[in-house]
């Protein structure tokens, strides 16, 4: 069942509650619904986490946590999914986002070398910025919706499989 699988990989609630960046949420972190695992909270967590994973903004975890609190999504999962874009995967994912944005606004792609610096970012916003930001937003939206729907489908199929298994055991 997806619940058992997801529970194995979830961070400890204590480590999230004591994270220095998440202390701004204070008592809101004590809401039991933020730690509960059910189809709806996990689907919302996938939507929130995947959305912020594709946005090139600082403090993605804090933003994901804030929205997860607002929509009663599973908090640990929302925060963990943001790390899909980590220092190893970020260049490839953001390059694909740039390609998607360039394709949407129908501009030729430019060769560039990704650098992690404010100077490179400021210079690139005028050249590749519009295509990159549009691509990030489109990918964030698409993967967020796909994650939300995918969790609902996988969860439903898992429940049906369990029901059929119980039904066949009763027939014996």
Question: Which ranges of the chain would DSSP assign to H, the alpha helix?
Answer: 2-9, 13-17, 39-53, 60-71, 75-82, 90-105, 118-127, 129-171
Residue 71 pLDDT exceeds 60: yes
pLDDT for 1 beyond 60: no
Distance of CA 62 to the CA centre of its chain: 12
pTM of the model: 0.78
The model's pLDDT over 84-105, given as tens digits with 9 standing for 90+, comes to: 998 899 889 988 999 999 999 9
Match 């509650």 to its residue by tokens.
17
Query: pLDDT tens digit string along 124-149?
Result: 777 888 898 999 999 999 999 999 99
Q: How far apart are CA 28 and CA 48, in angstroms?
A: 17
């Amino acid at each position: 069942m997806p619940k058992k699988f997801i529970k194995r990989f979830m961070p400890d609630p204590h480590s999230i509650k004591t994270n220095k960046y998440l202390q701004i949420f204070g008592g809101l972190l004590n809401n039991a619904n933020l730690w509960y695992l059910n189809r709806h909270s996990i689907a919302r967590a996938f939507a929130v986490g995947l959305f912020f994973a594709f946005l090139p903004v600082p403090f993605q975890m804090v933003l994901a946590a804030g929205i997860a609190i607002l929509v009663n999504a599973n908090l640990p999962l929302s925060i963990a999914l943001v790390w899909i874009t980590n220092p190893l995967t970020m260049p490839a994912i953001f390059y694909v986002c740039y390609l998607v944005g360039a394709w949407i606004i129908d501009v030729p792609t430019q060769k560039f070398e990704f650098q992690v610096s404010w100077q490179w970012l400021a210079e690139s916003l005028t050249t590749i910025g519009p295509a990159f930001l549009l691509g990030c937003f489109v990918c964030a939206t698409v993967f967020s919706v796909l994650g939300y729907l995918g969790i609902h489908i996988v969860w439903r199929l898992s429940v049906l499989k369990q029901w059929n298994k119980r039904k066949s055991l009763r027939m014996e």
